Amino acid sequence: MSNLETWSSVEVCSSSATAGPVREVLPSKAVMLGPGTEVRRLLPTLGRRMIGAWCFVDHYGPDEIAARPGMQVPPHPHIGLQTVSWLLDGEVHHRDSLGSDVLIRPGDLGLMTAGAGIAHSEQSPVPHGPLLHGAQLWVALPDAERAVAPRFEHHARLPVVTEPGVHATVLLGEVAGARSPGLVHTPLVGVDIALDPGADTPLPLEPDFEHAVLTVSGAPEIDGGELQAGSLCYLGSGRRDLRLRAPRGGRFLLLGGVPFAEEIVMWWNFVARTGQEVADARAHWQAGPPTGGADAAFAPVPGYDGPALAAPPLPPTPLKPRGRTR
Ligand code: MN
């Protein structure tokens, strides 16, 4: 998915960590992703920019798309991050400049490591089902590994941990000894947890991680309070477990990781370290596809019929690095 905002405000921020457990429901904002597709942008948000290395969280749907095109995101570039595509309902056709051509279904992990540079498109297939519901998540790569070669992983079989009333699918990282096959570059976790009606259980957490929960359906009780669908709740760090209750059932994503120590510059679809690096990546994309040779980043997306996305103008103020919180 592409960030279609024209530009985000630029601030200099300190990187003060939140030590210890907290419970903060974060504000969301509605963002248009092309005509007719609105998403809830939950990260970055006012007061918080990252959860571990997770640096971007969009939740979309469930949307009725039977008579509509659904998701239609033309080719666009990424650098310095991984994208995580997770569907709860519907399907998305992923194509990228490496030649990947994959239909991502509910329960599949689409993990794209942009590294030095990649371009991809995402489209609802034709024909497609009546509903579209999912999450698009980005993970910032650490400085030492942010220029790795791009890669795309499609994992249709992920580990599932089952306890009475609880079904946890491990997208990334490890839960209760079950480890995702997805390649990560910093210690982090991403889990889809479905609770049966009446569930009441503790979920073990890694105390060195900070965590957040995104409810995708129902209104489970997280750490003593209901969390409505479409809401992201920051939980801080230092927790060994989290109490989960769901009198009427519910489903959520748990995101966590070691607090990300580096300051990043995030603009459009790029995660970088300096404003100049962002400007260079933008100019590179706007210059059009490479003519060949070793310059494979931002190559055309095979099989996509139509124009690529143009980058928005850079903001008038210089881009400066920002830490985890504003
Ligand atoms: Mn994208």
Q: Which residues pair with 177 in a beta bridge?
A: none
User: What's the 301 CA to ligand 1 centre distance in angstroms?
Assistant: 12
Residue 209 inside a domain? The answer is: yes
User: What's the 82 CA to ligand 1 centre distance in angstroms?
Assistant: 9
User: What's the 1 CA to ligand 1 centre distance in angstroms?
Assistant: 4
Residue 326 inside a domain? The answer is: no
pTM: 0.93
Residue 276 inside a domain? The answer is: no
Using CA atoms, how far apart are residues 255 and 257, in angstroms rounded to an integer? 7
User: What's the 269 CA to ligand 1 centre distance in angstroms?
Assistant: 7
Residue 275 inside a domain? The answer is: no
The structure tokens listed for 274 are 């300096």
User: What's the 147 CA to ligand 1 centre distance in angstroms?
Assistant: 17
Q: Which of 175, 325, 171, 324 is nearest to 262 (CA)?
A: 324
pLDDT tens digit string along 8-31?
433 333 334 567 999 999 999 999
User: What's the 77 CA to ligand 1 centre distance in angstroms?
Assistant: 7
Residue 64 inside a domain? The answer is: yes
User: What's the 165 CA to ligand 1 centre distance in angstroms?
Assistant: 34
pLDDT tens digit string along 180-211?
999 999 999 999 999 999 999 999 999 999 99
The structure tokens listed for 40 are 């809830």
By CB neighbour count within 10 A (0-12 exposed, 13-18 middle, 19+ buried), where does 293 fall?
exposed
Residue 4 inside a domain? The answer is: no
Helix (H) or strand (E) holding 21: strand 21-26
Look up the CATH number of the domain holding residue 51. 2.60.120.10
Q: How many domains does one find in the chain?
A: 1
Write down the mean pLDDT value for the chain.
91
What is the extent of the structural domain holding 48? 11-257
Confidence of residue 6 (pLDDT cuts 50, 70, 90): very low
User: What's the 120 CA to ligand 1 centre distance in angstroms?
Assistant: 6
What is the distance in angstroms between the CA of the first residue and the CA of the last residue of the chain? 24
Residue 315 inside a domain? The answer is: no
- Give the pLDDT confidence score for residue 297 in this predicted structure: 80
How far CA 58 is from CA of 50, 216, 264, in Å, comes to 13, 11, 19
By CB neighbour count within 10 A (0-12 exposed, 13-18 middle, 19+ buried), where does 83 fall?
buried
pLDDT tens digit string along 118-157?
999 999 999 999 999 999 999 999 999 999 999 999 999 9
Residue 251 inside a domain? The answer is: yes
The structure tokens listed for 174 are 């490890």
